Structure formats: structure tokens, C-alpha cells
A and B are shown apart, each in its own frame.
Chain A
């Protein structure tokens, strides 16, 4: 039986997992941005594994007090995970500072040691406390489905705390990430802020493991931030978008994990929630990096190609102008001015005609007055730039040409006015060629 998207918010069984995943993914998305801009994502990854022994130990402690899991063990596990990740952070610092380990090796060392201790401890309770063992293994891959209304309150509050702290510290995070000296100059303590941000990371890791699981925790910090990075330049919208991407992937991932097996006609397969949420976030990230309006790969490629095309077009105009403003050529002769494939030559030719820069003169083709003016401007920019390079920057005459070949396509009208003013509107370039006036 398929469950509708909005039914997930009202149904008493699905309500808690849905709202829980939404809030937690939102918080992790927001915290991930801090790690992204500070290049500390891999620390998040290493610490996410360090959470594991804490879960096991807290389950062992909880087993002393409660005979059966499922009552109030949530808080125990949360605290245990937090403390063990904190220990991981200190251990990391110890390895790097005292043992002088490479930072990447230190991350791996800490990660595998902590996870190994976790594996050792969990094997201890495997047979003696089977129910608890099962409970602990849930955290390995995450299981949002077992969340209920009682868990929702602490998890929800902590997620909101994460977001509120980020909002309150927004200015400080901005300064600390881009200009650390500024904070020190104002008498602030960067170390205190760093410690606070680390605590925030640990908090988000300990609440996140419930839905995505220990082994995939890092992904929920990384993927929304990567996705958001391609849509904005501003830090504030970076935070908001990343949180939004987290939120969306939490919602869609949860929805898919329940419904996808049903659609595929395999109701006996339970699609794990954590991986599905993460995969949704990753899909969002990949789509963003390909299709985002300004920074996406497609858009960047199109911009690159159209720039190359514009250069070819302007070069053709320039060559025609140099060969003789008033002259006219047959098609074959005309397109032979540019080194390009036959198709591109034909396309360029058509384009120039449509734009009205080339016209038919008798049986042949020549520049229109408009085309000639454009071509003259390009040559003018080229020669102005050569003068500028030689006179103002003291470059050798022979070297100036190559640089000007590229700059002639980039110089804007404002820059041209400025160059004319500085150089006092010269008549000749360094190679004694006349500079056309427009």
C-alpha cells in the first residue's frame, strides 16, 4: 500500500520519522557549510566513526539500568556518542601535536582505532545482551523508522539549537572563516569560537546518527553543502540553501525509502532510510554541479564555447578589414581567412550575414559599413593595448602582440575610454601601424 507524501506528516506511525529526518537533515546541512568553508569536511568524516564506541558503551551502561531497550535509552546513547566524539577530537589533536603525525594519517589512525574499539566492545554484548546488540547495530546504518514521538522532542530541540547557534554566531563564523585576524584585532578569542564550532559539529553528529547511521553520517554534512555551493556566492544564502537541500533530501529520501520498494513491486525489501536520504542528497549535489545556472558545468561549458566562437567571429572580421575595407571576395576566399572546420566557417559566414556585417557586392561578398566599424574597433583595441603594454608597463615590442591578440576580445568600452585617456589617444602602435579612430 503506497503512502502519500503528505500522509507521512499526519500518520501516527510515519509522522515522527518524517519530522525527525527533516529536522536532523536540516541541522546537518547547516553545520556542513561551516566545515565546507573551513576545509574540515574530512574531520567530520573521521569523527562520525568515532561516535560508534560511545554508542556501544552507553548501551552497555544502559543495560545495567534497564532490562530491555526502547524505554529511555535514547538520551544515554546521545550523551555517549557526544562524549566519544569529543574524545576522538582530543585524540586527533594529541596525535597531530604530540606525535607529529601527518594530518591525514592522524584522521585515519583515530578513525580506525575508535571504530575498532567499538567493534570489540559490541562483540562483548552480542550474545549476553542480544536485544541491546540489535539496538546498537541500528545506529550503524541508521533507522529513522524506529523513531517515535518521544524521541522527537530531544532530537528536534537539539536540531533547532544547532540552527539557532549558527544563526547567532553568523557574523563570527564569517569572520573566523575568512579573516581570523579581524576577530583577534577586535579582542575576540578565535580558539573559543573554534571550540564552540567543534561542539556544534559533535552535536550534529550525535543527533544525525539516528537517521543516517554512523557510517554515512559524513555524507549528510558534505552533500547538501556541495549542492548549495553551486547556487550562491553569499555566505548567508549558502547556509540557507544548504539547510534547504538537507531538508528536501530528508523528506524525499524518507518518502522514497518507504515507497520505492512498493513501486518496484518488491514489498518484502525494506530500503534502508539512511542511505536513501544520503543518495537523494548526493543526486541533488550532482544535479547542482552540472545544471546550476551560473557555476554549473553545463553553463560553464556553454560560456566557454560561446566565448571561443565570439573570438573566431571577431578574428574573421578583423582579417577581412585588414585585407581591405572596400574589397570583396568569393565565399571560398572569404572563409579561408580563419582556421576552422568547413561547417564552422559556413556557420560563421551565415551569422555575419544575418548580423548585417557582410553584404553581397555584385557576385562577391564584402564588409558593410557597420561591419567595417566593428572590425576597426577590434583592431583599435588591439593596437591600443600594445601601446599600453609597451609604454606604461615597459614590455618589449615583440612580446606585446600575443597578449593583445587575447585582450582585444575582452576589453570593455569603459576600459577603452580609460586607455584612450591615459595614452592621450595615440595615432600609432609600437609597430608603427596606424590606430583607427572610431
Chain B
């Protein structure tokens, strides 16, 4: 029985706050399942906003979409690699496997798309589309062959927040930390390649290299997040908060933090709302679906707030 059992929307936040204070004092020993969900989603939100802001600015979101499909191949690789580590048939990820899988996925996707576009001379949309649908179909086939018992097939696409464990928090923290470190280290490079690729090429910063690094980050985020929200809905975390934040600020640094804030807010609201609906109506609903709906709502709210600001402070 979870600590949050029977709590309504606002009671949830009150209890979360109390638990937070307790955690600061060092009184919290084990995390409740709702707290695990909140922490993982917050990690996803932070990672995704660090990566997604640049994806949106560089207009690479369709490649990110492609990657969110091909990640299934990476998951199959991770699954096969982790078979020896599996504890009791449970599909676990460790950091090394995660890194290998995300690098391989990013490499496969980017290489094949580039190959079709440059060597075979297909149009860009056809090369992106052909590569990701093929790799995704391959992934689905392999998943059904290898992982019939682990529900990977549907869960990989839809996500299942309720299946999260405490070690997922640790994993997501690593992913978020990695993204944070990379973004801080290469902030200048990302900035210059995002706004002027030709200038960055002349001063010796290869746009290709940093686009690829960004793709690896995207793949890492998607693999880290797939258990919580599924590979397709990671895309919502990547794209929606930065787009919403663009209504509120025009400064790159602030854009990242505002979009992280929007992502975190949506995650908190979604977990609370999912608990609320379960308490009041006794219906379990998908938290991942709720997060996306809240993200969409926050997008339109930030648009409206921009309009209001404009009306009062022209």
C-alpha cells in the first residue's frame, strides 16, 4: 500500500512537500512509488529540455522523431546485453549498456540517413522516413522474437510509469547529469552551431560533430526515459517545453531553464492528477498520457500569457 493511497490532488502536493522536508532532514528511508515517478519524470524533463532546446533551434526535431523510433533497436541491443544481468526475468538497464545502446542507435540512424541523402541522393524527408521506419520495423520484429515475456512490445511505445523502481531514479539521474555536463561543457559550441553553422565551420567548430553529439544525447535521454513514458512520448518532452518557453523568453540560457521548469511542472501535475483520478473515480489512467496533455496545455497557456503581457505592457 503506497503512502499516497487515497490522496486527492492538493493533498498529494501537501504530502509531497512534507516528505520533501523530511528528506532534507534525512528522515526518508524508502521512496514511495509516486515519488519515484515524480523523480524520474523530473529527470526526464531536465534532460529533455537541455537537449530539446537545441533540437528545436537547430530544426532537427524530425531527426529526433526518427531517433525516438530507432531507439527500439538500441533497446533490443541493451536487452540482449543485459540478459546476463537480468534479475529474475526482470529487464534491467545499467549505465554501460545504456551508453553503448544509445551511441550505437545514434550512429546507425545518423549514418544511414546521411548515406541515403548524400550518396544515394534521396530527398531529405524520404531518407529520414525510410531509415526510421525500417529500423523500427526491425526493432519490433526483434522485440517480439527476443522479449516476448517482458511486455517490451507495447510498453516500449506507451511507457508504464507504474513499473518504475528506485533504481530507475538513479539511472535517470545519471542521464540528466550526463546531459547537464555535456551541455555546460559545450554550451558555446552548441550555441554557435545552432545560430550560424557556416560561421562555426569557419572558426573550426564542426557543426556535424556537435549535431552528432546532440543525437547521442537525444538517444541517451530516450533510452533513459522509455520505461517511464515510452519512446514516442519522449518526443513530447523534447519538443513541447522549449516551444512553450519560446513564448516567455528569448534568451538561450533562460530558454533551457524555463523549458525545464515547464517540463517539471507538467510532470508534477500529471502524477498528482493520475493519483487524484485513481482516488476519486477509481480509474487508473496513464501518467505518460497525462504528462503530454499537460505539456500541450502549458504550451497554450504560455501563448496566452504572452498575449496578455503584450496587452498590458505593450
User: Which A residues contact B (CB, under 8 angstroms)?
Assistant: 36, 39-42, 44-45, 49, 99, 101-102, 104-105, 107-109, 111-113, 115-124, 126-128, 137, 140-141, 215-216, 218-219, 221-223, 225-226, 229, 269-272, 274-276, 278-279, 282, 285, 289, 297
List CB contacts (< 8 Å) of B273-294 with chain A: 283-286, 288-293
List CB contacts (< 8 Å) of B128-151 with chain A: 128-130, 133-134, 136-138, 140-141, 144-145, 148
Extra 19 A-B pairs, beta carbons < 8 Å, given A44-B129, A123-B289, A297-B119? A39-B123, A45-B65, A45-B129, A105-B243, A113-B296, A116-B293, A119-B230, A119-B233, A119-B288, A119-B289, A120-B285, A121-B289, A140-B157, A215-B232, A223-B130, A223-B133, A272-B141, A279-B138, A282-B134
Choose, from B8-16, B22-30, B55-63, the stretch at the interface.
Answer: B55-63
How long is the Cα–Cα vector from A45 to B126 in the complex, in angstroms? 11
Decide: B140 and A272 in contact? CB cutoff 8 A: yes
User: Which B residues contact A (CB, under 8 angstroms)?
Assistant: 56, 59-62, 64-65, 69, 116, 119-120, 122-123, 125-126, 128-130, 133-134, 136-138, 140-141, 144-145, 148, 153-154, 157-159, 230, 232-233, 235-236, 238-240, 243, 283-286, 288-293, 295-296, 299, 303
Chain B's nearest CB lies how many Å from the CB of A250?
14
Contacts of A113 in B (CB 8 A): 236, 240, 292-293, 295-296
Q: Which of A99, A109, A117 contacts B289 (CB 8 A)?
A: A117
Contacts of B138 in A (CB 8 A): 275, 279
Q: Which of A137, A271, A276, A289 contacts B120 (CB 8 A)?
A: A289
Q: Can you give 29 A-B contacts (C-beta < 8 A)?
A: A39-B125, A41-B129, A42-B125, A107-B62, A108-B65, A108-B238, A115-B233, A116-B293, A118-B289, A119-B159, A119-B233, A119-B292, A120-B289, A121-B289, A141-B153, A215-B232, A216-B133, A222-B133, A225-B126, A229-B122, A269-B148, A272-B140, A275-B138, A275-B140, A278-B133, A278-B134, A289-B120, A297-B119, A297-B120
Contacts of B239 in A (CB 8 A): 105, 108-109, 112
How long is the Cα–Cα vector from A140 to B72 in the complex, in angstroms? 15
With A45-B129, A120-B293, A270-B144 in contact, is A112–B235 under 8 Å at CB? Answer: yes
- Which residue of chain B is the closest to A99 with respect to CB atoms? B303
B-side binding surface: helix, strand, loop or mixed?
helix
Chain A's nearest CB lies how many Å from the CB of B120?
5
- Which residue of chain A is the closest to B285 with respect to CB atoms? A123
Decide: B130 and A226 in contact? CB cutoff 8 A: yes
A-side binding surface: helix, strand, loop or mixed?
helix
Contacts of A49 in B (CB 8 A): 232
With A122-B286, A278-B134 in contact, is A222–B129 under 8 Å at CB? Answer: yes
Contacts of B232 in A (CB 8 A): 49, 111-112, 115, 215
How long is the Cα–Cα vector from A270 to B293 in the complex, in angstroms? 35
Decide: A116 and B137 in contact? CB cutoff 8 A: no
Decide: A105 and B140 in contact? CB cutoff 8 A: no
Decide: B243 and A222 in contact? CB cutoff 8 A: no
How long is the Cα–Cα vector from A269 to B59 in the complex, in angstroms? 41
Decide: A105 and B61 in contact? CB cutoff 8 A: yes
How long is the Cα–Cα vector from A219 to B129 in the complex, in angstroms? 7
Decide: B284 and A112 in contact? CB cutoff 8 A: no
How long is the Cα–Cα vector from A435 to B83 in the complex, in angstroms? 77
Decide: A116 and B285 in contact? CB cutoff 8 A: no
Decide: B61 and A108 in contact? CB cutoff 8 A: yes
Contacts of A105 in B (CB 8 A): 56, 59, 61, 239, 243
Contacts of A101 in B (CB 8 A): 243
How long is the Cα–Cα vector from A119 to B284 in the complex, in angstroms? 12
- Which residue of chain B is the closest to A280 with respect to CB atoms? B137
- Which residue of chain A is the closest to B244 with respect to CB atoms? A109
Decide: B240 and A104 in contact? CB cutoff 8 A: no
With A36-B126, A41-B125, A117-B292 in contact, is A107–B65 under 8 Å at CB? Answer: yes
